[in-house]
Amino acid sequence: MRVVHSITSLQGMIDRNKREGRTVGFVPTMGFLHDGHLSLVKQAREQNDIVVMSIFVNPAQFGPGEDFEAYPRDKERDTNLAYEVGVDILFMPTPEEMYPQEGGIRILPGPQANVLCGASRPGHFDGVLKVVLKLFNIVDPDRSYFGMKDAQQLAIIETFVRDFNLRTSIVRVPIIRDQDGLAKSSRNVNLSETDRAEAPVIQQALQKGVLLFNEGSSVETIERGVTAYITENSSGIMDYVSLLSYPELAEYDGLSDEAILACAVKFGKTRLIDNIIISIKDGCHVQNDDEQ
């Protein structure tokens, strides 16, 4: 595995591989790797000749007062894990390498970014799209792998690729969870012991929401049900819960093929997100976690 910090060295390596006819799979991450990231790499490994992973805690996607400083980082551990899972090139740029100048061009996402995390974190997806476009231009991947854990991010990136004719295929990868149902996240390490014990309530609440959905409850009843379950069974503070069409992220009107039930909950200073995608086929409602 090659570890690279400079954009020009990375581009040189990619160019050589492409000239020799190799396909490139790309896994962008913010590091502090866990099984969720590793499952993206495993899928990329199966479908491409070489796998490039980036680790970059992107300052542009953190707002003032968010956890940019507190975001967990461990380069040595990440390097070992990336090597073990079969990454060929690990790209770890500094913020100066990625953003040599302040300001510049901003990318404004459309209405998909006005809901869920986009509503709670103004400007977050502008920063995501900026770094994703830079990384796509640097890596020039045939396929890029994103987790359904960040389902809104994935939906916005799919739209971005389509609207701007970006030459990479986006591959959706299912959510990997701990045994108790908590979605794996780098931020889980920042939870206190009590909060970690309570956090699986998020997935349980979403499952309750799916039950309500299957019973034909209204969007409002479902959202209220999820909130009630979380507040009654934990000290978590609801940021949002929302049932929307997927991947449009528009108001759920009962007509779309897929819906997303998503929420964000704060435990102490740590904000966790999770979601369930619901497939609606032939009038019956099927929860579709495994096939996401």
Binding positions for ligand AMP, rule: CB under 6 A? 29-30, 36-37, 39-40, 146-147, 149-150, 173, 175-176, 183-186
Q: What is the phi/psi pair of residue 101, to 5°?
A: -125, 150
Q: How far apart are CA 127 and CA 11, in angstroms?
A: 22
Burial of 96 (0-12, 13-18, 19+ CB in 10 A): exposed
Nearer to ligand AMP, 175 or 199 (CB): 175
Decide: 111 and 249 in contact? Cβ < 8 Å.
yes
Q: How far apart are CA 174 and CA 187, in angstroms?
A: 18
44: left (phi over 0), alpha (psi -120 to 50) or beta: alpha
Q: How far apart are CA 137 and CA 131, in angstroms?
A: 10
| Cα distance from N-terminal residue to C-terminal residue, the chain | 30
Shortest Cβ 244–ligand AMP spacing (Å): 18
Distances (CA, A) of 10 to 34, 97, 136, 234, 264: 24, 12, 12, 46, 36
- Judge whether 285 counts as a catalytic residue: no
Shortest Cβ 14–ligand AMP spacing (Å): 20
Nearer to ligand AMP, 184 or 271 (CB): 184
* Helical segments of the chain, H only: 7-19, 35-47, 75-85, 95-98, 116-120, 124-139, 151-163, 193-198, 201-214, 219-233
Shortest Cβ 149–ligand AMP spacing (Å): 4
Nearer to ligand AMP, 93 or 225 (CB): 93
Q: Hey, what are 128's tokens?
A: 């995501």
Nearer to ligand AMP, 188 or 225 (CB): 188
Which single residue brings its beta carbon nearest to ligand AMP?
A: 147
**Which amino acid is present at 271?**
R
Nearer to ligand AMP, 28 or 225 (CB): 28
Catalytic residue among 5, 37, 124, 285: 37
Nearer to ligand AMP, 29 or 234 (CB): 29
Shortest Cβ 120–ligand AMP spacing (Å): 16
Shortest Cβ 289–ligand AMP spacing (Å): 11
Distances (CA, A) of 13 to 37, 56, 86, 169, 272: 23, 19, 17, 21, 36
Q: How far apart are CA 141 and CA 276, in angstroms?
A: 28
Shortest Cβ 74–ligand AMP spacing (Å): 13
Residues involved in catalysis: 37
